[in-house]
Structure 1
Amino acid sequence: MTSSAPPAVGVRTPWEALPTAVRAAIADVLGAPVVQAVTQTGGFSPGVAARVTTAGGRRAFVKAVSAEVNPVSPEMHREEARYAAALPFGVPAPPLLGSYDDGTWVALVFEDVAGRQPHVPWHERELALVLDAVGELSRALTPAPLDAPSVVEYLADGFQGWQQMIDDGDRGEGLDPWTASHLSYLAELAFPWTDLAVGDTLAHGDLRADNILLTADGRVVFVDWPHARRGAAPWFDLLIMLPCVRAQGGPDPEEVFAAHPLGRVAEPHAVTATLAGFAGFMIRNSRQPPPPGIPTLRAFQRAQGEAALQWLRKRLG
Structure 2
Amino acid sequence: MTQTGGFSPGVAARVRLVDGRRVFVKAAGPEPNPDTPGLHRAEARITAALPAAAPVPALLTALDLDGWVVLVLEDVDGKMPAQPWQHDELQRVLAAATELSVLLDPSPVEVPTVADRFGEEFQGWRQLAAAFAEGVDDLAWLPSWAQRNVRRLADREAAWSIAAAGGALIHGDLRADNVLLTDDRVAFVDWPWAAIGASWIDIVLMGPSVIMQDTPDAMRLLDRHLCARAADPDDVTSVLIALTGYFLRQSVQPPPPGLPTVRGFQRAQGEAALDWVRERTRWR
Q: Shared fold (TM-score greater than 0.5)?
A: yes
Distance 1:127 1:197 in 2: 23
Distance 1:152 1:253 in 2: 27
1:167 is aligned to 130
Identify which of 193, 201, 211 aligns with 1:227.
193
1:250 aligns with 2:250: no
CA deviation profile, 1:78-126 (whole Å, cap 9, x unmatched) = 1001001101111110000011111411111101001011111111111
Go from structure 1 to structure 2 and tell me whether the alpha carbon gap of 1:240 and 1:252 turns closer, same or farther (over 3 Å shift): farther
Distance apart, 1:54 and its partner CA: 1.5
Which runs of structure 2 are paired with 1:71-220 in the superposition (5 Å)? 71-168=34-131, 169-215=136-182, 217-220=183-186
Identify which of 244, 255, 274 aligns with 1:309.
274
Q: Which runs of 5+ in 1 are unaligned?
A: 1-37
Go from structure 1 to structure 2 and tell me whether the alpha carbon gap of 1:261 and 1:172 turns closer, same or farther (over 3 Å shift): closer
Q: Contact 2:200–2:226 (CA<8 Å) still a contact in 1?
A: no
Which runs of structure 2 are paired with 1:7-22 in the superposition (5 Å)? none
Go from structure 1 to structure 2 and tell me whether the alpha carbon gap of 1:253 and 1:185 turns closer, same or farther (over 3 Å shift): farther
1:18 is aligned to none
Amino acid at match of 1:277: A
Amino acid at match of 1:44: F
Distance 2:162 2:137 in 1: 27
Which runs of structure 2 are paired with 1:31-110 in the superposition (5 Å)? 38-110=1-73
Distance apart, 1:294 and its partner CA: 2.1
Distance apart, 1:155 and its partner CA: 1.0
Amino acid at match of 1:244: S
Amino acid at match of 1:206: D
TM-score scaled by structure 1?
0.84
Aligned length: 278
Go from structure 1 to structure 2 and tell me whether the alpha carbon gap of 1:162 and 1:103 turns closer, same or farther (over 3 Å shift): farther
Which runs of structure 2 are paired with 1:280-291 in the superposition (5 Å)? 280-291=245-256
1:269 is aligned to 234
Q: Contact 2:211–2:219 (CA<8 Å) still a contact in 1?
A: no
CA deviation profile, 1:240-279 (whole Å, cap 9, x unmatched) = 1111111122244441233216655111211111111010
Distance 2:67 2:219 in 1: 44
Q: Pairwise CA RMSD of aligned residues? A: 1.4
Runs of 4+ residues deviating >4 angstroms: 261-264
CA deviation profile, 1:285-310 (whole Å, cap 9, x unmatched) = 11111122222211111111111111
Q: Contact 2:11–2:25 (CA<8 Å) still a contact in 1?
A: yes
Q: Report the secondary structure of 1:281's partner residue.
A: helix
Go from structure 1 to structure 2 and tell me whether the alpha carbon gap of 1:262 and 1:143 turns closer, same or farther (over 3 Å shift): farther
1:300 aligns with 2:265: yes
Distance 1:187 1:263 in 2: 28
Distance 2:138 2:112 in 1: 32
The sequence identity of aligned pairs, in percent, is 50
TM-score scaled by structure 2?
0.94
Q: Contact 1:159–1:277 (CA<8 Å) still a contact in 2?
A: yes
Distance apart, 1:183 and its partner CA: 1.7
